[in-house]
Amino acid sequence: MQPFSYYRAIDLADAFGAMQRDAGGQVIAGGTELVNWLKEGIVSPPVIVDINSLPDLGAVEANAAELSIGALARMSDVAAHPQVQRNFPAIAEALHKSASQQLRNMASMGGNLMQRTRCPYFRADVDLACNKRRPGSGCAALDGYDRTAAIFGWSEHCVATHPSDVAVAFAALDATVHVRGATGVERAIPVTDFYMLPGDAPEHDNVLQRDELIVRISVPQSPVAHRSRYLKVRERTSYEFALVSVAAGLQLDGDGRITDVRIALGGVAHRPWRLAAGERALPGTSITDHAAIRAAIEGAFADARPRRQNGFKIELAKRAVVRALQVAGGNA
Ligand code: SF4
């Protein structure tokens, strides 16, 4: 680990000023991800700017229109918030199923969204071919270990997946990331547009600029959000990233037929992956008709391109989607 200086910012302008004084500076909130990057040599910042004292970024509030989650709110506080548990159960479940209790107590919501891939080549403590970590060096996963790699949207330059659970719930529930720049200008970015596909520049995970910070996340109130669930499939039952995960919310009519539905997958792409084709095909399907639900989502997997070791993710994801819908619909 390289030596670095530490600066505690008192407000956003102060934080941006410190970042501009030392190019390459990194922001720290909970530190549960940044400290990993420091130890793994992924970043070597000259200064770490602590934003924990910034006012007004830790609130979790809900009104009739939306849930608002400050960027500095801790994961455990959001997961335990009564409004989140009652009206956005997929968000509460996604947070509960993330990391460990100790990490959730420290980790901020903004930091959660800024996590980077768990691809073992990216996280290695030796110098391996990885275009995300060292652009132009190649992708060791292409001919190596790709069991946990993407099945949607990958490129010849990177096959990594995004590790955040709650980002998947946010994507399904049409959440928006609100960011503020050094000049005070704010941008509101749908979560589905916040993350990028790898293309030929996988070093970029998202559209946040160097002189911007996430200030909050908003999620619209909706019947679909109120009846949403998060299902996570992983190789051990706690403290593990998803092989595949599903956030699903729906509305049913009086006969138990789906009238509205949102679905997003985790563990399958460089960003949370909305199943738009499935959402279009499902309305009218009975929540008790397992085979019809399965048939309605098949088309959403037409673009799946498995790697050598992860073809199982397609069948796993289909089964997980059916299960998540039935749980959300009260039919499991
Ligand atoms: Fe790096 Fe992406 Fe290839 Fe993993 S999949 S080695 S993160 S370029």
Tens-digit pLDDT profile for residues 276-297: 999 999 999 999 999 999 999 9
Share of the chain above pLDDT 70, in %: 100
Nearest atom (ligand 1) to Cα of 138? 8
How many angstroms does the Cα of residue 229 sit away from the middle of ligand 1? 30
21 or 144, which is more confident: 144
Tally the C-alpha atoms within 13 A of residue 70's C-alpha that lie toward its C-beta.
16
Q: Per the domain annotation, does 129 fall within a domain?
A: no
Rounded average pLDDT over 205-222: 97
State the Cα–Cα distance between residues 237 and 233, nearest whole angstrom. 8
How many angstroms does the Cα of residue 215 sit away from the middle of ligand 1? 29
Q: Is 132 in the pocket of ligand 1 (CB under 6 A)?
A: yes
Q: What is the DSSP string of 46-108?
A: SEEEE-TT-TTSS-EEE-SSEEEEETT-BHHHHHH-HHHHHH-HHHHHHHHTSS-HHHHHH-B
Sheet holding 26-28, edge to edge: 5-8, 47-50, 26-28
Question: What CATH number has the domain bearing residue 47?
Answer: 3.30.43.10
Q: Per the domain annotation, does 242 fall within a domain?
A: yes
Q: Per the domain annotation, does 262 fall within a domain?
A: yes
Q: Per the domain annotation, does 165 fall within a domain?
A: no
Q: Is 160 in the pocket of ligand 1 (CB under 6 A)?
A: yes
The whole domain housing 308 covers 223-328
pLDDT digits (tens, 9 = 90+) for 65-101: 999 999 999 999 999 999 999 999 999 999 999 999 9
51, 69, 92 — which closes off a domain? 51
The reported pLDDT for the residue numbered 22 is 83
Nearest atom (ligand 1) to Cα of 146? 5
Q: Per the domain annotation, does 178 fall within a domain?
A: no
Q: Is 139 in the pocket of ligand 1 (CB under 6 A)?
A: yes
The reported pLDDT for the residue numbered 316 is 98
Mean pLDDT of the chain: 97
Nearest atom (ligand 1) to Cα of 129? 6
Share of the chain above pLDDT 90, in %: 96
Q: Per the domain annotation, does 251 fall within a domain?
A: yes
Number of domains within the chain: 2
pTM: 0.98
Give, using CA atoms, the residue closest to atom 7 of ligand 1. Answer: 122
Q: Per the domain annotation, does 265 fall within a domain?
A: yes
How many angstroms does the Cα of residue 142 sit away from the middle of ligand 1? 8
How many angstroms does the Cα of residue 130 sit away from the middle of ligand 1? 5
Nearest atom (ligand 1) to Cα of 160? 5
CA distances from 297 to 151, 198, 209, 317 (A): 16, 25, 36, 10
Q: Per the domain annotation, does 174 fall within a domain?
A: no
Question: What CATH number has the domain bearing residue 274?
Answer: 3.30.390.50
Nearest atom (ligand 1) to Cα of 121? 6
Check pLDDT > 80 for residue 332: no
